[in-house]
């Protein structure tokens, strides 16, 4: 059965190769295309299944750096396919293929690829949960989000831990490195720290949403510790507002980590601390318009969760005063959120 499928793929690829070489030229007057030309053609036509099959075929015989490069290209194809998947079943098939690819690669080249795969699932879970929060989707979609979080949260945590071990090794290497090797070691160390920050960032947000779904205050605390790696907490401790340099918050992922801490504090019934974190982000010059636009709904969630209805009313009155010339006090999503918070009270 597998052999028949393999022959089928080869036949289709052969046809694609023929088309790629014959477009714009007379049949018989062209030479066979290179592997790169064929892959460029498949990619330009958005033939991702054929492109993945082509890359898997090359990966089976490649060695060394060429193998890693092909694996990274195949990984990017899988990331796009996961983003475009229409059903949970389709997503699971791609997840299995991605997992097989990861297991075939050396550890040193796989961390960022694993983050990319898990990030795709995280973004899907986040979207489903936020849509459920305003009751646009139902329980079935929420269960799918929960499944995704249970799958990827330990992945982000494991990546962060293993890259942390690599950072320790590189720091020791840096301390004893000769001048000739120092720059390369520093570059490797900077890259490893960047990858760990990414893993901790997504582990934090996965932890927040997982804690939200399970009403688990301990999980919210763990998520705050994950965010702490980005907020100058000194190694995975719960971050403190006074320890966060204002300049750091100009970086999008750091500012969003601070928002994550606020939401975790809210889950832990510490609405005062949550609002302080949101105040910190809102008072920072240079944060993106997209993030600034989210802060109202985050405040609404905090105040609604704490049943501080008079403060929520005051917040909306201030919003109205700030938007005198805008007929829409709230966006449709914010209005739905307000209705849900009131009905769930």
What DSSP letter does each residue of 281-342 carry, written as one string? HHT-TT--HHHHHHHHHHHHHHHHHTT-HHHHHHHHHHHHHHTTT-S-SS-HHHHHHHHHHH
pTM of the model: 0.77
Q: How far apart are CA 177 and CA 192, in angstroms?
A: 17
Give me the chain's average pLDDT, please: 84
Torsion of CA 201, 207, 212, 217, to 10 degrees: -120
Q: How far apart are CA 328 and CA 320, in angstroms?
A: 9
> Which tens digit of pLDDT belongs to each residue from 5-59?
343 445 444 444 544 444 444 444 444 457 777 777 777 777 778 888 888 888 8
> Which tens digit of pLDDT belongs to each residue from 108-142?
567 877 888 889 889 999 999 999 999 999 999 99
> Of the given ranges (89-103, 134-148, 211-225), which has the lowest mean pLDDT?
89-103
Give the pLDDT band of residue 191 (cuts 50, 70, 90).
confident
Mean pLDDT value across residues 179-203:
87
Question: Which residues are CB-neighbours of 123 under 8 A, at least 6 positions away?
Answer: 83
User: Residue 200 in contact with residue 185, Cβ under 8 Å?
Assistant: no
Task: Give the per-residue pLDDT at 108.
Answer: 55
Per 3-state DSSP, what percentage of the chain is helix, strand, and coil (rounded to 5)? 80, 0, 20
- Report domain extents, the chain: 42-54+68-102
Residue 92 or residue 16, greater confidence: 92
Counts of helices then strands in the chain (DSSP H, E): 14, 0
For residue 228, is pLDDT > 70? Answer: yes
| Assigned token pair, 159 | 């990546």
Percent of the chain with pLDDT over 90: 47
Task: Give the per-residue pLDDT at 327.
Answer: 57
């Amino acid at each position: 059965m597998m052999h028949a499928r393999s022959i089928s793929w080869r036949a289709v690829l052969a046809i694609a190769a023929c088309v790629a070489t014959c477009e714009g030229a007379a049949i018989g007057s062209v030479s066979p295309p290179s592997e790169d030309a064929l892959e460029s053609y498949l990619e330009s036509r958005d033939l991702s299944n054929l492109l993945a099959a082509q890359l898997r075929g090359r990966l089976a015989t490649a060695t060394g750096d060429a193998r890693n490069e092909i694996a990274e290209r195949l990984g990017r194809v899988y990331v796009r396919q996961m983003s475009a998947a229409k059903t949970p079943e389709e997503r699971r098939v791609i997840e299995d293929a991605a997992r097989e690819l990861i297991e075939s690669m050396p550890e040193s080249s796989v961390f960022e690829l694993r983050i990319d795969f898990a990030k795709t699932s995280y973004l899907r879970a986040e979207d489903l949960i936020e849509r459920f929060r305003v009751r646009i989707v139902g329980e079935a979609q929420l269960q799918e989000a929960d499944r995704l979080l249970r799958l990827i949260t330990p992945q982000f945590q494991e990546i962060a831990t293993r890259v942390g071990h690599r950072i320790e090794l590189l720091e020791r290497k840096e301390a004893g490195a000769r001048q000739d090797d120092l720059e390369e070691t520093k570059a490797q160390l900077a890259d490893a720290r960047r990858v760990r920050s990414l893993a901790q960032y997504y582990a934090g947000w996965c932890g927040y949403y997982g804690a939200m779904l399970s009403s688990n205050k301990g999980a919210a605390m763990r998520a705050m510790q994950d965010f702490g790696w980005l907020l100058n907490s000194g190694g995975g401790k719960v971050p403190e507002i006074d320890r966060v340099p204002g300049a750091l918050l100009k970086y999008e992922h750091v500012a969003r980590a601070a928002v994550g801490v606020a939401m975790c504090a809210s889950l832990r019934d510490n609405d005062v601390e949550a609002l302080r974190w949101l105040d910190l982000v809102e008072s920072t010059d240079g944060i993106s318009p997209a993030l600034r636009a989210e802060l109202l709904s985050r405040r609404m969630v905090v105040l609604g969760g704490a049943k501080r209805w008079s403060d929520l009313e005051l917040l909306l009155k201030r919003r109205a005063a700030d938007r005198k010339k805008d007929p829409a006090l709230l966006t449709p999503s914010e209005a739905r959120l307000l209705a849900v918070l009131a009905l769930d009270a």
